[in-house]
Amino acid sequence: MKPGQAVNPGGQDARADAPDPLYERLAAYAGRPAATAASGKDPVNAPMIRHWCEAMGDTSPAYRGPDAVAPPTMLQAWTMRGLAPDPGAPEDLEASGAPEDLEAPGGDGGTGRSPAYDGLLRLLDGAGYTSVVATDCEQEYLRPLRPGDLITYDSVIESVSPRKTTKLGTGYFVTTRMDVRADGEPAGTHRFRILKYRPVERSTERSTGRSTERPTERPVERSSGREAPLRPRPVINRDNAGFWSGVAEHRLLIQRCTRCATLRFPWLPGCNACAGQEWDTVEASGEGTVFSHVVMHHPSFPACDPSGEGGPYAVALVELVEGVRIVANVVGVPYDKVGVGLPVRLEFLRTDPDLELPVFRAGEGG
């Protein structure tokens, strides 16, 4: 997949004939470390494997029992550092006294990033490219990961693209490559690409317009009288455009492989069961039950709370009667009344004049 394809397949160089002094500075970061001699917070372990498989609905026997291995796609999960900084880590680079171009580990504020990578991100932020979206990743697996394996890794800034114009805005694609080791042996490679961009400005009419269809759960105006914050816009690409077209028509569409009839959600370019590339869709009945859920307390995200107040609010993994699962808000009951097995039914919530999302309302007696 080429940089930019996931966001806008028709993305073009922004004013390719114009000089770009910023790009010259950004390109100098290519080849520098993004993380050095870093370690996973936990060894590979059976509980995380079990939780992953339950969430994904993966029932392969290879991931259970005394000879279990970890699903290969968990490769990045063992390197993730969590939401909290490491205890005792400096709060920022200035606190550590580390210069921006220092290549040694340390002074990362517990983020796991090198000073060089932090310097690259600060340079983009300072130039106005403050928004970020992950566009794609590529993984290569070299050996199975087993419970007890100790994970270490190095990461390098592989490339920074010239300035590109996409549907989201104008910016730069930054690609990092992580080389993962298990007990000192090469285990896999994870290549990750983000777009740091300056969002496209909306017209005054669109940004201040009001929908003629009033939402049932989420007011456009909050009780304070200020306009409610907008939810992040979904990234719509050629792999999921059909799903969002269905949402616009108040239909929840599930992909179905035309070779083996396996249903799949979320939308993917190919079938996990038979690798078939052809598919059609079936419309979900809208009936389901809560398979798992979390309650968001902190940090506060008013835009993602159906009430607009910022939480607490429930986010559930809903199992549809068709057998697939979808992550969505649960509405119609207090957050502390949401539980596993709660019957729910699909409805569509207009969160602002330009965005409508599927949510699930608790059933009678829920």
Question: What sign does the dihedral 78-79-80-85 (CA atoms) show?
Answer: positive
Spatial neighbors of 201 by CB under 8 A, at least 6 apart, are none
Using CA of residue 109, residue 110, residue 111, residue 115, what is the dihedral sign? positive
Phi and psi (nearest 5°) for 216?
-90, -25
Q: Name which of 272, 2, 273, 269 is nearest 138 in CA terms.
A: 2
Distance in angstroms (rounded) separating the CA atoms of residues 158 and 173: 11
Query: Which residues, at least 6 apart from 117, have a Cβ–Cβ distance to it below 8 Å?
Result: 29, 32, 33, 34, 35, 155, 157, 176
Stronger pLDDT, 321 or 87, i.e. the higher one: 321
pLDDT, one tens digit per residue, over 340-350 is 999 999 999 99
Q: What is the band of 272 on the pLDDT scale with cuts at 50, 70, 90?
A: confident
Task: Dump pLDDT digits (tens) for 285-338.
Answer: 999 999 999 988 877 777 787 776 777 889 999 999 999 999 999 999 998 999
Q: Identify the CA nearest to 152 among candidates 78, 102, 244.
A: 78
CA distance 173 to 26: 11
Least confident of 52-66, 97-111, 297-311, 312-326: 97-111
Helix (H, G, I), strand (E, B) or coil at 325: strand
Would you say residue 1 has pLDDT above 50? no
Round to whole Å and give the CA distance between 361 and 241.
Answer: 25
Average pLDDT over every residue of 41-53: 95
154, 114 contact by CB (below 8 A) = no
pLDDT, mean of residues 163-169: 89
Tell me the C-alpha distance between 302 and 207, whole Å: 18
Return d(Cα 192, Cα 175) in angstroms, integer: 6
Terminal-to-terminal C-alpha distance of the chain: 45
* Alpha carbon distance 182, 162 (integer Å): 35
Specify the range with the lowest mean pLDDT, choosing from 67-76, 79-88, 163-172: 79-88
Which pLDDT score, from 0 to 100, does residue 37 have? 85
| pLDDT value of position 205 | 40
Other C-beta atoms lying within 10 Å of the C-beta of residue 253: 19
Helix/strand/coil for 250: coil
Using the predicted structure, report yes or no on whether residue 49 has a pLDDT greater than 50.
yes
pTM for the model: 0.54
